[in-house]
Amino acid sequence: MKTKKVLDLYVSFFKIGGLTFGGGLAMLPMLQREVVQKHHWCTEEELLDIYAIGQCTPGIIAVNTATYVGYQQAGFLGSVSGTLGMISPSLIIICLVASILQNFIHMPVVLHALAGIRIVVCALMLNTVFTMAKKGIIDKLGAAVFLIAFVLACFTPVPTALVIILAGLTGIIAKHFERRRAA
Partner 1 sequence: MIYLILAYEFFKIGLFSIGGGMATLPFLMDLTRKYDWFTVSELTNMVAISESTPGPVGINMATYAGYNAAGILGAIVATISLTAPAWIIIIMIAKFLENFSENANVKAAFYGIRPAVAALIGYAVWELLKIALVSAAEGKMEINLINAAVCIVTFALLQIKKLGKLHPLVWIAAGACIGIVLKM
* Contacts of partner 1 in 119-178 (CB under 8 A): 119-129, 132-133, 135-138, 141-143, 145-150, 153-154, 159-161, 163-172, 174-176
Q: Could you say which of 28, 46, 72, 77 contacts partner 1 (CB under 8 A)?
A: 72
Interatomic CA distance for residues 30 and 99, integer angstroms: 29
Among positions 92-111, residues that touch partner 1 (CB under 8 A) are 93-95, 97-99, 101, 109
Interatomic CA distance for residues 77 and 128, integer angstroms: 36
Q: What is the dihedral of CA 70, 71, 75, 79, to 10 degrees?
A: 60
Instruction: Quote the longest CA-to-CA distance of the chain.
Output: 68
Among positions 51-70, residues that touch partner 1 (CB under 8 A) are 52-64, 67-68
In 3-state terms, what secondary structure has residue 22? coil
- Residue 32, φ and ψ in degrees, nearest 5: -60, -45
Nearest distance from residue 2's CB to partner 1, in Å?
17
Interatomic CA distance for residues 127 and 103, integer angstroms: 32
Nearest distance from residue 37's CB to partner 1, in Å?
21
The residue (of 29 and 136) whose beta carbon lies closer to partner 1 is 136
The residue (of 7 and 53) whose beta carbon lies closer to partner 1 is 53
The residue (of 8 and 65) whose beta carbon lies closer to partner 1 is 65
The residue (of 119 and 183) whose beta carbon lies closer to partner 1 is 119
Among positions 10-49, residues that touch partner 1 (CB under 8 A) are 17-24, 27, 49
Interatomic CA distance for residues 79 and 6, integer angstroms: 9
